[in-house]
């Protein structure tokens, strides 16, 4: 079977599995690895040390599978309509937070890997022989957006997301390394033109310029990757977002008609616009149940409650102070410090009882970070 036939066989099998797009690139050094290295050297990765640690491996996919000849890239759509979440429990009142679209359903890592394994099995059965393969998702050290662009799936946009024309940027990428030769795809050139909607809409001004993101200011980084305190000067800009951010995608014209998301990634009830008070009251066991089999497992409980406290500080009212007061008694200083900040913000908007809560905590607090947030909030 010839490379063109291999590619067509894989393409048809991938589409049958629900993938929106398929691309093919010969395995070899990645031309744009230099751009990635320069981005790291400028410090834009923030605390994501793992990106620098495996930077050399990302230069060539062959480092992951020595016998690989083709890197198959697939795109799975998660473009589903915003759900109307109406939890029935008594804590469902009050303001709601926002979770990024990709994390509202089942854990895409599991979904993608199972589909990629099925794709490899189909390939082996069709050519009548054993196929060496390696399925990869975003946890693997691959420059997947570069591969997807080179393979013809889409183009890298000004917001650094991959846009697949006709499917938009609400797609998750997966890769399958195989020791089978496939006809390469045709690389797509950027089609953003003069549009800069994504750059101008970013709440925190995270884009240094077109095609360059400073992750240290990105809300997705701040709410997911960053394990320490969110910089005070950025907290008010986070808004009600408690896990990730979709703003630069929401304003993109290529996403205006994006639809037909994979059914496996359909939003679960209560995960699009969750009640913030309810989230802030999650105990350890409840938290594990809440994020089970979900991409939300990327954050630990202290991170989530930190994010929820910030969201309440931005959109909450005096009615949310009791929940935040309970958070001031949390064992983790990260939660207490952000709860103090939130109480101060709500007090600044006119909730007079906020001051008494802060003053009470000052008398028993011992952590320097929390004491600093308490002092700033009291001002």
User: Which domain covers residue 217, as residue numbers?
Assistant: 197-255+269-378
240 in active site: no
**Predicted pLDDT of residue 88:** 43
Q: Is residue 331 part of a domain?
A: yes
**Predicted pLDDT of residue 129:** 83
- Residue by residue, pLDDT tens for the chain (379 residues) are 799 999 999 999 999 999 999 999 999 999 999 999 999 999 999 999 999 999 999 999 999 999 999 999 999 999 998 766 555 444 467 999 999 999 999 999 999 999 999 999 999 999 988 899 999 999 999 999 999 999 999 999 999 999 999 999 999 999 999 999 999 999 999 999 999 999 999 999 999 999 999 999 999 999 999 999 999 999 999 999 999 999 999 999 999 988 789 999 999 988 989 999 999 999 999 999 999 999 999 999 999 999 999 999 999 999 999 999 999 999 999 999 999 999 999 999 999 999 999 999 999 999 999 999 999 999 9
**Predicted pLDDT of residue 84:** 60
**Predicted pLDDT of residue 91:** 45
Q: Is residue 239 part of a domain?
A: yes
145 and 282 share one domain: no
The model's pTM is: 0.95
106 and 201 share one domain: no
> How far apart, in whole angstroms, are the C-alpha atoms of residue 205 and residue 81?
27
**Predicted pLDDT of residue 258:** 80
Q: Is residue 189 part of a domain?
A: no
121 and 221 share one domain: no
**Where is 99: in which H helix or E strand?**
strand 98-99
**Strand pairing of 98-99 and 241-243?**
parallel
**Predicted pLDDT of residue 1:** 74
**Number of domains within the chain:** 2
**Predicted pLDDT of residue 83:** 66
247 and 147 share one domain: no
Give the active site residue among 60, 138, 179, 367: 138
CATH number at residue 304: 1.25.10
Q: Is residue 263 part of a domain?
A: no
> Do residues 187 and 221 make contact, with C-beta atoms less than 8 angstroms apart?
no
Residues with Cβ within 8 Å of 369's Cβ and at least 6 positions away in sequence, in order, are 229, 333, 337
166 and 139 share one domain: yes
């Amino acid at each position: 079977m010839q490379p063109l036939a291999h590619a067509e066989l894989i393409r048809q099998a991938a589409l049958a599995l629900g993938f929106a797009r398929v691309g093919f690139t010969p395995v070899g050094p990645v031309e744009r690895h230099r751009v990635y290295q320069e981005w790291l050297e400028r410090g834009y990765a923030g605390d994501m040390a793992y990106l620098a640690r495996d930077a050399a491996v990302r230069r060539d996919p062959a480092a992951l599978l020595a016998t690989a000849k083709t890197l198959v890239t697939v795109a799975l759509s998660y473009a589903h309509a915003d759900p109307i979440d109406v939890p029935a429990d008594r804590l469902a009142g009050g303001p709601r937070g926002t979770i990024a679209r990709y994390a509202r359903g089942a854990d895409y890592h599991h979904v993608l890997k199972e589909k990629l394994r099925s794709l490899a099995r189909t390939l082996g059965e069709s050519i009548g022989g054993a196929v060496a393969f390696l399925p990869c998702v975003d946890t693997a050290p691959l420059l997947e957006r570069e591969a997807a662009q080179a393979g013809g799936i889409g183009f890298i946009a000004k917001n650094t997301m991959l846009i697949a024309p006709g499917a938009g940027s609400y797609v998750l990428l997966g890769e399958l390394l195989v020791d089978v030769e496939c006809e390469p795809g045709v690389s797509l050139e950027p089609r953003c033109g003069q549009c800069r909607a994504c750059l101008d809409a970013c709440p925190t001004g995270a884009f240094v310029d077109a095609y360059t993101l400073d992750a240290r200011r990105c809300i997705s980084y701040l709410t997911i990757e960053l394990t320490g305190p969110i910089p005070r000067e950025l907290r008010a800009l986070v808004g009600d977002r408690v896990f990730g951010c979709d703003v630069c995608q929401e304003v993109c014209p290529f996403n205006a008609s994006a639809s037909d998301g994979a059914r496996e990634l359909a939003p679960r009830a209560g995960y699009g616009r969750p009640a913030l008070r309810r989230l802030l009251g999650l105990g350890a066991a409840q938290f594990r149940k809440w994020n089970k089999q979900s991409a939300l497992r990327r954050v630990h409980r202290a991170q989530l409650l930190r994010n929820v406290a910030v969201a309440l500080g931005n959109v909450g009212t005096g009615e949310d102070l009791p929940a935040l007061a309970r958070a001031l008694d949390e064992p983790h200083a990260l939660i207490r410090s952000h709860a103090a900040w939130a109480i101060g913000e709500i007090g600044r908007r006119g909730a007079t009882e906020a001051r008494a809560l802060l003053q009470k905590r000052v008398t028993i607090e011992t952590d320097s970070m929390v004491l600093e947030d308490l002092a700033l909030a009291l001002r």
